[in-house]
Amino acid sequence: MAEKPTLQPHVLIFPLPLQGPVNCMLKVAELFCLAGFHVTFLNTDHVHRRLLRHSHLHSRFAPFPTFRFKTVSDGLPEDHPRSGDRLMDIFDALEAVTKPLFRGMLISGVFSSEAGVPVTCIIADGAFDFALDAAKEVGIPLIYFDTISPCCVWVHLCIPKLIESGELPFKGNDLDTPITSVPGMEGFLRRRDLPIYCRAGDVSIPVVQIILAEDRQLPKAHGLILNTFEEIEGPILSHIRSLCPNLYSIGPLQERLKIRLAEETTSPPASSNGLWEEDGGCMTWLDAQPLRSVIYVSFGSLAVTRTADLKEFWHGLVNSGKRFLWVIRDNGVAGEDGDRQIPAEFSDGRKEGGYIARWAPQEEVLAHPAVGGFLTHSGWNSTLESIVAGVPMLCWPYFFDQQVNSRFVSEVWKIGLDMKDLCDRVVIEKMVNDLMDVRRDELVCSAENMAMLAKRSVSEGGSSLCNLNRLIEDIRSMSV
Ligand code: UDX
């Protein structure tokens, strides 16, 4: 009797429609395709249009006939800025519009029928508490992928404990008061290192309710994927496992994908997952700069910086005398009178030894030998990319997981400096010089050691590769 051909698994991947989450979920999608899976990637219409406009997505996934995109509305008008200062609009629209649409698509079976293969497993962003309820309704296992930093995932899971112990809401306004209710972070976590919404003085605000809803759902899913590696967050991962025992720490994903693609005889063209047009001039400009002479400056895809703060950074960078490659997104400026233009005096930065771009090929920039430091907002993807590149960081966190991340970079991993809650041209000049000169040797030594650990974890025998293989086999076992 011929054996029934085993159907390859079909995974439905559903990221939060933001640059960071989409970026790392596309990488795990490609790794699943290389493992022979069917993959349906559910983007929002808006994100999909921008990806098609600014990246070579179709050529990248052309080698995989079992890969397909599907789209769903994010519930916002096309001209909505979808920037960090309007984040709650995004979450409100996802709840009101995308949630019922997603449930309807699952119940209709459209993902399975269009692929011709039943959906084996759903991988949803940890921010989608509704996804688990919908998955249970149709009897499909769901694995959450929380794309923020694991150290912040653990802080989020401890929010109920912080409230119960009275550490939240804050009593008084001393932000340097130590926090004692987050196991594993005693001794270095302060109030100012908690997510910025903890400063609101009210735990009934919507964003805290979203976090508490996530806290309830994460432990109920089949498993939890995190883009990190044991060597940098072992103790924190053990704490998370106490609530989410089936944990897959499989990062840094960008490094695993690079290694895996190099094993292919014909690798598809490298392609960014950018939602903006990359300024190719950055790399040409970097080629003309001396070794490790440039500080790369980028505050991610959501941060919106006040014009007054931008001017402090401008004068701090120029006065430091260091060369700088500075990304200022077209929706990244908050002017006093609603003006979102880059201040005129910035020009293009050339005569001050800098280069200003609207969007850069960040992973290539960080890997460029001319780059010696990264002034970052501490978004998790940027932090991991800097770790992999062995580039020390100067952290100026904006919101969400970034406050925790910057504290870990400076106090736990010692691969950078934390400029949290400061924005003054004199401080910026000093800290840029500390990063690029005064403390450079110690920071580069730590950063290069961590880069080695990161690469080892996703190579043969590494912890992250073992976890990724276990994830792939677990999903395969769901499809038999
Ligand atoms: C958001 C949150 O802000 C962040 O804290 C969370 O960890 C993930 O979701 P974002 O602000 O976009 O992410 O920051 P980050 O996680 O660093 O992701 C930015 C991505 O955009 C990175 O992968 C980076 O390589 C890319 N990028 C950024 C570019 O490709 N070019 C640029 O010019 C700037």
The response to whether residue 148 sits with its C-beta less than 6 Å from ligand 1 reads yes
To the nearest whole number, what is the mean pLDDT of the chain? Answer: 94
The helix-helix angle for 230-241 and 150-157 (nearest 10°) equals: 20
Flag whether pLDDT at 270 surpasses 80.
no
Chain CA centroid to CA 460, Å: 25
Sign of the C-alpha dihedral computed for residues 312, 313, 317 and 320 taken in this order? positive
Distance 301 CA to ligand 1 centre (A): 5
pLDDT tens per residue across span 192-247: 999 999 999 999 999 999 999 999 999 999 999 999 999 999 899 999 999 999 99
Instruction: Please give the pLDDT value at position 58.
Output: 83
Instruction: Please give the pLDDT value at position 234.
Output: 84
Cis omega before residue 268 (within 30°)?
Answer: no
Cβ proximity of 30 and 60 under 8 Å = yes
- Cα separation, 295 vs 352, in Å, equals 13
Which residues are 354's β-sheet partners? Answer: 324
Flag whether pLDDT at 3 surpasses 60.
no
Pocket mutation for ligand 1, best pick of 381, 400, 402 (most atoms within 8 Å of C-beta): 381
Instruction: Please give the pLDDT value at position 350.
Output: 86
Lowest mean pLDDT among 113-117, 191-195, 374-378: 113-117
**Over pLDDT 70: what percentage of the chain?**
98
Cβ proximity of 47 and 275 under 8 Å = yes
The response to whether residue 18 sits with its C-beta less than 6 Å from ligand 1 reads yes
Greater model confidence, 252 or 335: 252
Cis omega before residue 252 (within 30°)?
Answer: yes
Greater model confidence, 336 or 85: 85
Please give the CATH architecture assigned to the domain spanning 10-273+458-477. 3-Layer(aba) Sandwich (3.40)
- Cα separation, 315 vs 320, in Å, equals 8
Flag whether pLDDT at 439 surpasses 90.
yes
pLDDT tens per residue across span 144-187: 999 999 999 999 999 999 999 999 999 999 999 999 999 999 99
Nearest CA to ligand 1 atom 18: 20
Q: Which two tokens stand for residue 373?
A: 């430091």
Q: Which value, to the nearest 10 degrees, does the dihedral of the CA atoms of residues 48, 50, 56, 60 take?
A: -20
Query: Which residue in this structure is represented by tokens 């072992």?
Result: 234
Lowest mean pLDDT among 42-46, 333-337, 394-398: 333-337
Rg (CA), the chain: 22
The response to whether residue 301 sits with its C-beta less than 6 Å from ligand 1 reads yes
Query: Which residue in this structure is represented by tokens 């970052």?
Result: 376
Cβ proximity of 386 and 308 under 8 Å = no
Cβ proximity of 403 and 194 under 8 Å = yes
pLDDT tens per residue across span 18-67: 999 999 999 999 999 999 999 999 999 999 999 999 988 888 898 999 99
Instruction: Please give the pLDDT value at position 429.
Output: 98
The response to whether residue 381 sits with its C-beta less than 6 Å from ligand 1 reads yes
The response to whether residue 328 sits with its C-beta less than 6 Å from ligand 1 reads no
Distance 462 CA to ligand 1 centre (A): 26
The response to whether residue 389 sits with its C-beta less than 6 Å from ligand 1 reads no
Q: Which two tokens stand for residue 343?
A: 């201040």
The response to whether residue 275 sits with its C-beta less than 6 Å from ligand 1 reads no
Nearest CA to ligand 1 atom 25: 362
Helix H, strand E, coil C: the string for the chain is CCCCCCCCCEEEEECCCCHHHHHHHHHHHHHHHHCCCEEEEEEEHHHHHHHHHHCCHHHHHCCCCCEEEEEECCCCCCCCCCCHHHHHHHHHHHHHHHHHHHHHHHHHCHHHHHHCCCCCEEEEECCCHHHHHHHHHHCCCEEEEECCCHHHHHHHHCHHHHHHCCCCCCCCCCCCCECCCCCCCCCCCEHHHCCHHHHHCCCCCHHHHHHHHHHHHHHHCCEEEECCCHHHHHHHHHHHHCCCCCEEECCCHHHHHHHHHHCCCCCCCCCCCCCCCCCCHHHHHHHCCCCCCEEEEECCCCCCEEHHHHHHHHHHHHHHCCEEEEECCCCCEECCCCCCCCCHHHCCCHHHCEEEECCCCHHHHHHCCCEEEEEECCCHHHHHHHHHHCCCEEECCCCCCHHHHHHHHHHHCCCEEECCCCCCHHHHHHHHHHHHHHCHHHHHHHHHHHHHHHHHHCCCCCHHHHHHHHHHHHHHHHHC
Flag whether pLDDT at 274 surpasses 60.
yes
Q: What is the pTM of this model?
A: 0.96
Nearest CA to ligand 1 atom 15: 379
Instruction: Please give the pLDDT value at position 352.
Output: 86
Instruction: Please give the pLDDT value at position 76.
Output: 97
Pocket mutation for ligand 1, best pick of 296, 326, 382 (most atoms within 8 Å of C-beta): 382
Cβ proximity of 112 and 7 under 8 Å = no
Chain CA centroid to CA 15, Å: 11
Instruction: Please give the pLDDT value at position 96.
Output: 97
Ligand 1 atom with the smallest distance to the CA of 301 is: 12
Chain CA centroid to CA 131, Å: 20
Pocket mutation for ligand 1, best pick of 24, 28, 151, 301 (most atoms within 8 Å of C-beta): 301
The response to whether residue 23 sits with its C-beta less than 6 Å from ligand 1 reads yes
The response to whether residue 360 sits with its C-beta less than 6 Å from ligand 1 reads yes
Res. 4 pLDDT band, cuts 50 70 90? low
Report phi then psi at 75, rounded to 5: 80, 5
Distance 154 CA to ligand 1 centre (A): 20
Distance 423 CA to ligand 1 centre (A): 21
- Cα separation, 356 vs 282, in Å, equals 8
Q: How far is CA 214 from CA 130, 331, 362, in A?
A: 9, 29, 30
- Cα separation, 67 vs 83, in Å, equals 29
Cβ proximity of 20 and 381 under 8 Å = yes
Ligand 1 atom with the smallest distance to the CA of 381 is: 16
The response to whether residue 362 sits with its C-beta less than 6 Å from ligand 1 reads yes
Flag whether pLDDT at 331 surpasses 90.
no
The response to whether residue 302 sits with its C-beta less than 6 Å from ligand 1 reads yes
Instruction: Please give the pLDDT value at position 409.
Output: 98
Q: For the domain covering 281-455, report its CATH number.
A: 3.40.50.2000
Ligand 1 atom with the smallest distance to the CA of 149 is: 7
Q: Where in the chain is the domain with CATH 3.40.50.2000?
A: 10-273+458-477, 281-455
Distance 448 CA to ligand 1 centre (A): 22
Distance 381 CA to ligand 1 centre (A): 6
Q: Which two tokens stand for residue 244?
A: 């989410």
Lowest mean pLDDT among 114-118, 344-348, 351-355: 344-348
Pocket mutation for ligand 1, best pick of 16, 19, 22, 374 (most atoms within 8 Å of C-beta): 19
Distance 172 CA to ligand 1 centre (A): 33
pLDDT tens per residue across span 406-429: 999 999 999 999 999 999 999 999
